[in-house]
Amino acid sequence: MNIKVLRQKRADLVKEAQGVFDVATTENRGLTEAEAARDDAISTELTDLDAQIARAERQMERQRSIGGNTDANNDADQRDRGGRGGEQRFASLGEQMLAIARAGNPDYRGAADPRLIMAGPTGMSEGVAADGGFLVQTDFSNELLQNTYEGGEIASRVRRIPIGATSNGINMNGVDETSRANGSRWGGILSYWTGEAQLKTASQPKFRRIKMELDKLTGLCYATDELLQDSTALESWLRQAFADEFVFRIEDAIMNGNGSGMPLGFLNGGSTITVSKETSQVAATIVAENILKMWARMPARSRKNAVWLVNQDIEPQLYQFNIKIKNVAGTENVGGIATPQVIFTPPGANGNQYATLMGRPVIPVEYAATLGTAGDIVLADLSQYLAIDKGPTQIASSIHVRFIYDETAFRFVYRFNGQPIWAAPMTPFKGTATQSPFIALQTR
């Protein structure tokens, strides 16, 4: 069995094992007897695979040391990198990271892996002399970004536009629509019911400019010398560290960014509507009227995409909707007229992954404000947030930043920006209460 097959089999087993633990974590329980037995079996298989991979790698090193003919495993490794005489490619992200770390180590000066300085247009890595860094091989970069976006509850829902290699931002027309009244839809489009041979009246849309320049998101990861000895472990660790940290920063900026050197968050955009609290509403509470009024301000066409983004501290308040009907003073009505009841459906009911409120998912996020503060509960149609990005990610390394700790620093640079598509709330065709895809609740 060649080394490529062995590595892939190992990766598949690790993924299977993680899936077992993910299910148990989601269900808030330990492993079942069958799951534990399978985990033990996977552990045994991984030990055997690691030994096979180590033997194959030793033999490859022996062949490289004497030159000349290579064995089948070496040929397989060459094919992973693109083949002899053609494009030289790294077989894994971990392997490329080891090469980058060595390139930044004075002990390896003059011996940098030639695959690090291949030309960019071929889809390979590209040296970045100004920063002493290297661009991640395109396929690895795409996987890193895919893991980042798929792992985010907010980032996975926004409208994302990749920016080409020759651009540093986006400059496009957006419809200047702030009212659904006749003559205002689509910024000024008009239509008429007309009889035969009657005069047709001309109209034209009105646009506004949407302009964004890419900002830099920079992250640092520290890898121990021991971790640098194992490219497989290094790759797994870097993928998780990169995805977790970058998704946190990106999502926090999408929600709370101030637009200065970073994305403009929808809570700070001009289109967000803040629904007023109820008269005499007790501090740090959420009552049924709040939910109903927030829902009423969400455009009908955005409701199918809307989600509730909440701070976990408010969840006990939501469960109270199913226990008793409260008035705005936070006490149960006895003998009076009850306030409207809102049904909160817990996660897991009817097979749903998320809890629901007004039939839409309730998603706890770290970026929501603390209970009682504006932004602790938000109703948002995230498809109305525009994000731009440009890859591949650039990575550089240094042995000096954490030298006394025997750690190598990896620096990731990702170019990203974003802002709400709506510039202001919308006045409906009939009615006076404005609407927006971003609704927050006033501080209580």
Average pLDDT for 190-207: 63
Q: Of 273, 302, 232, 262, which Cα lies nearest the Cα of 414? A: 262
The angle, 0 to 180 degrees and rounded to 10, between the axes of the packed helices 231-256 and 93-103 is 90
The pLDDT of 364-384, averaged and rounded, is 96
pLDDT of residue 193: 73
Q: What is the mean pLDDT of residues 104-115?
A: 60
CA distances from 24 to 15, 19, 29 (A): 15, 9, 5
Contact 245, 219 (CB under 8 A): yes
Q: What is the mean pLDDT of residues 331-357?
A: 72
Mean pLDDT value across residues 136-149: 62
Between these two residues, 184 and 291, which has the higher pLDDT value?
Answer: 291
State how far the Cα of 90 lies from the Cα of 81, in Å rounded to an integer: 5
User: Residue 236: its pLDDT value, please?
Assistant: 74
Widest Cα–Cα separation across the chain: 94
Sheet holding 355-357: strands in order across? 273-275, 438-441, 377-380, 307-310, 360-364, 355-357, 344-345
Q: What is the pLDDT of residue 125?
A: 35
Q: In whole angstroms, what separates CA 420 from the centre of its chain?
A: 16
Give the pLDDT of residue 324: 46
Calculate what percentage of the chain has a pLDDT beyond 90: 31
Residue 321 has pLDDT above 50, yes or no: yes
How high is the pLDDT of residue 4?
64
**208: CB partners within 8 A, 6+ apart:** 173, 174, 175, 176, 423
Q: What is the pLDDT of residue 132?
A: 45
Mean residue pLDDT across the chain: 77
Which of these, 348, 417, 341, lies nearest to 386 by C-alpha position?
Answer: 417
Reading the block at residue 73, the tokens are 């495993």
Instruction: State which amino acid sits at residue 77.
Output: D
- State the SS3 of 121-181: HHCCCCEECCCCEEECCHHHHHHHHHHHHHCCCCHHHCEEEECCCCCCEEEEEEECCCECC
Compute the distance between CA of residue 263 and CA of residue 250 in angstroms, rounded to an integer.
Answer: 8
pLDDT beyond 90 at 230: no
Residues 6 or more apart from 425 whose CB is under 8 A from it?
178, 271, 273, 434, 435, 436
Per-residue pLDDT at 129 exceeds 60 = no
Q: What confidence tier does 111 reach under pLDDT thresholds 50, 70, 90?
A: low
- Look at residue 189 in the predicted model and tell me its pLDDT: 64
Give the whole-angstrom CA distance, residue 271 versus residue 102.
Answer: 49
Q: Which helix (H) or strand (E) holds 328?
A: none
Question: What is the model's pLDDT at position 326?
Answer: 46
Among the residue ranges 117-126, 183-192, 342-351, the one predicted with the least confidence is 117-126
420's CB contacts (< 8 A; 6+ apart) are 264, 266, 269, 270, 271, 272, 384, 385, 386, 437, 438
Q: What is the pLDDT of residues 51-90, one digit of tens each?
A: 888 787 777 666 555 544 444 444 444 444 444 444 567 7
Cβ(17)–Cβ(60) below 8 Å: no
pLDDT score at 12: 81
Of the pLDDT bands very low, low, confident and very high (cuts 50, 70, 90), residue 395 is: confident
Dihedral (CA of 330, 332, 336, 342) sign: positive
Q: pLDDT-derived band of residue 223, with 50, 70 and 90 as boundaries?
A: confident
Considering 16-30, 120-134, 402-416, the range whose residues carry the highest mean pLDDT is 16-30
CA dihedral 258, 260, 263, 264 (to 10 degrees): 40
Q: Which residue has the higher pLDDT, 192 or 163?
A: 163
Contacts of 282 (CB under 8 A, 6+ apart): 328, 329, 330, 444
| Mean predicted confidence (pLDDT) in 247-267 | 95
DSSP state of 235: H
Q: Over range 387-409, report the average pLDDT.
A: 75
Phi, psi dihedral angles at 277 (to 5 degrees): -70, 165
Q: Please state the rounded mean pLDDT for residues 368-397.
A: 90
> 243 with 144: CB under 8 angstroms?
yes
At 21 the pLDDT is 85
DSSP secondary structure letter of residue 339: P
Residue 225: predicted pLDDT: 74
- DSSP 8-state class, residue 342: -
> Among 19, 235, 248, which residue's Cα sits nearest to residue 148?
248
Tokens of 229: 């000895």
- Does residue 289 register a pLDDT over 90? yes
For residue 191, give both structure tokens.
């239509």
pLDDT for the residue 407: 77
